[in-house]
Structure 1
Amino acid sequence: MVEHVSHYIQMMSLHTHNDALTCKVFPSSLGPTALRWFNGLRKGSIHNFDELIQEFGVQFMTCSWVPQQVDALLSMKMGAKETLRNYASRYWELYNEIGKGNEKIAVSTFQLGFPEDSELLDSLTRRPLEDMRQLIRRIKEYKRLEDDRQQNKGKAPIMS
């Protein structure tokens, strides 16, 4: 809810002093459920944008985003047939939801999700990382390797 309103205010930044316009355009930013709520407001019940946002907040407070805790990263596991690309994407999405955190924890928890026979895990164990940039570089290397293997899978050798 807060994120939606912040995004809307940012979009309307050129019109912040035009309360009527800001209120009239607000419904165009809403999804179906919130739009039904908006259309159900009693005519004349809202006098300015601050009141509109206050009512919106009261109605949709349960939809407010709750940040994940760092320990949520500990439960991340790479699926048996999951690609590194997909696992890394899921991991970074969750990591970014948590926000700024300890990079060492992020690096450690990323490694915990790998199966024991993972080449990347082996590489990370043999050559420990200093920081997040190194982890990202190493992941990119192994994604390229994984992609190359997928592309070459099933192709007949050029020479026998």
Structure 2
Amino acid sequence: MYLSDASDAIRCKAFPNTLTKTAIKWFDSLPLRSITSFDDLAKKFLTRFSIQKDKAKHAPSPLGIKQGDRESLRSYMERFDKACLDIQNLPTETAIMSLVNGLREGPFSHSISKKYPISLNEVQERAKKYINMEENSRLGETSKTGLSYSPRDKDKESRKKEDQPTETPRKYHNYTPL
């Protein structure tokens, strides 16, 4: 708008089109004729919303990210990566320490403790191997149990068979097929 040298009136008309959710509600609640110029609108807007800027996350925040008891290594790594992206200027050493500290006891954490990684790239490369091993072992478990039923479904089916009497007296001789 400044580059095209638009007038105050055009700037004021175009401004609401750039707003979302809370800002639109605020704009709609402004009293009629309370804005005298675009500069006036800009000052009121900044006064209202400059306090609510997102606070920058600090480096210690990834220390709280822990791998859940049943969480796969892949989902933990993805969650950790997303959290690290939100932090500006995160030192590599802090990121590695936080990731390693958040791992649950298992083959990958044992591997990391034997040879501590130097870079995040190295951690990710090593993690890929363990993610593949984890996923392959899950695939092996599902193929052993069968793809059509889960163990829980098989138990329910066997209970149903046990609960049903072997011969039920028939009330009617002809039934309509469903």
| TM-score, with structure 2 as normaliser | 0.65
- Per the TM alignment, residue 65 of structure 1 is displaced from its structure 2 partner at its CA by 0.7
- Aligned with 1:35 (options 24, 41, 44): 24
Specify the alignment match of 2:107 in structure 1: 119
Q: Distance in 2 between matches of 1:90 and 1:76?
A: 8
Per-residue deviation at 1:24? Answer: 3.7
Closer, same or farther: CA 137–47 of 1 in aligned 2, 3 Å: farther
Q: Which residue of 2 aligns with 1:83?
A: 72
Q: What amino acid maps onto 2:16 in structure 1?
A: P
Unaligned runs of 5+ in 1: 1-14
User: Equivalent residue of 1:155, what SS?
Assistant: helix
Tell me the equivalent position of 1:9: none
- Pairing 1:56–2:45 present: yes
Aligned to 2:160: none
Tell me which residue corresponds to 1:94.
83
CA contact (8 A) 2:67 2:103 kept: yes
- Cα separation, 1, equivalents of 2:96 and 2:57: 17
**Aligned equivalent of 1:47:** 37
* Identity fraction in percent: 23
The counterpart of 1:70, out of the listed 45, 51, 59, is 59
Trace 1:140-159 onto structure 2 (pairs within 5 A): 140-156=128-144
Structure 2 letter corresponding to 1:100: N
Q: Which has the higher contact order (CA 8 A, sep 6+)?
A: 1
Partner of 1:7: none
**Alpha-carbon spacing, 1:29–1:107, altered in 2? closer, same or farther (3 Å):** same
> TM-score by structure 1 length?
0.71
Structure 2: state its 5+ residue gaps. 146-178
- Cα gap change, 1:129 to 1:36, in 2 (>3 Å): same
C-alpha contact 2:12 2:37 (8 A) present in aligned 1: no
RMSD: 2.7
Question: How far off is 1:32 after superposition?
Answer: 2.3
Q: CA deviation at 1:74?
A: 1.8
Give 3-state SS (helix, strand or coil) of 1:65's partner. coil
Match of 2:163?
Answer: none
